[in-house]
Structure 1
Amino acid sequence: MEIITMKTAFFILIAVSISGILFSLTSCSDKLDIQQMYDFSLSTMPVQKRIKQGETAEIRCQLHKSGNYKETKFHIGYFQPEGKGTLKMDDGTVFLPNDTYPLEKETFRLYYTSECSDQQQIDLTVYDSFGQRYELSISMQNETTKPSDAQ
């Protein structure tokens, strides 16, 4: 039976330690993978289908995010391909068509006031700071009072 000397045991221990260190260094990456960009969508509670000129419709909105990177900024804007009206945020900000505004909350309300007696459509677009966007269209029919109903 062979007896291992203290010097040999020390070299074996050093060799095993160095091998373990080399193995752990080659199997790991020093790059930290942080996901910054997540999918998102915008939903609304049911919106009224008919609107009269001068009437205001409330649009309750919810931004849904598949993940949360705190540096992500969101903006909202709108375009009105049909009809005429004004759109206002719940904080009082009046939107101009084709401009974007910071979206500070995930749950918010918009108020659309009809300024015509035609069919109306507004196209909402939410953008994130990575260039992703989500679009949502809302249509409302004109509701006019018939002469026989006005008595």
Structure 2
Amino acid sequence: MIAIFNKFKTGLLLLILSISFTLVSCSKDDGLEVQNDFPFEINVMPVPKDIANGQTVEIRIVIQRTENYHHTQYYLRYFQFDGQGTLRYYDDDPYLPNDLYPLAKEQFRLYYTSTSTVSQTFDVWISDSFGNEKQVSFQFNNSN
């Protein structure tokens, strides 16, 4: 009878210790944070400084992630300040200024076609699904 009572006390003590350990370890802040911000950088290959009316310039862009989160979606929008032209993704229809377009790849080419005889300036904004955003500015002088 005493042996059963000792086993019961030992089991009860182990149960109390394991519950106490679990509660202490759950409430402890061990500095782990869930990352929900995945910054990125934009790399652009050099483009010509001058463009003629009707000429098309290829703009090669690479999105470089600092972290590789599988479900990140990237978007593009642009706004033209000076001059006139069209910006398109590969053979797609031209983009409308300040509309948001999803990007299928992190390495892609844009094509800007001048429809102006003056200098042209526009910005391309690339954002991700976490609210990060990068701006790239382009300026082309008119060439005859």
Asked if these proteins are the same fold (TM beyond 0.5), I'd say yes
**Residue matched to 1:61:** 61
- Give percent identity, aligned residues only: 41
Q: What is the one-letter code of the residue matched to 2:115?
A: E
Cα distance in 1, alignment partners of residues 23 and 70 from structure 2: 31
| Equivalences for residues 97-136 of structure 1 within 5 A | 97-136=97-136
Aligned-residue offset at 1:6:
6.2
**Residue matched to 2:49:** 49
Native 8 Å contact 2:51 2:143 kept in 1: yes
Deviation digits for residues 20-64 of structure 1 (CA, Å, limit 9, x no counterpart): 2321233126xx964333112322111111111111110000112
Query: SS state of the match for residue 21, structure 1?
Result: helix
The size of the alignment, in residue pairs, is 139
RMSD of aligned residue pairs (Cα, Å): 2.4
**Residue matched to 1:147:** none
Q: What is the one-letter code of the residue matched to 2:6?
A: T
Residue ranges of structure 1 left out of the alignment (5+ in a row): 145-151
Residue ranges of structure 2 left out of the alignment (5+ in a row): none
Q: What is the one-letter code of the residue matched to 1:18?
A: I
The one of 13, 32, 48 aligned to 1:15 = 13
Cα distance in 1, alignment partners of residues 93 and 12 from structure 2: 70
4+ runs of 1 displaced by more than 4 Å?
A: none
Query: SS state of the match for residue 61, structure 1?
Result: strand
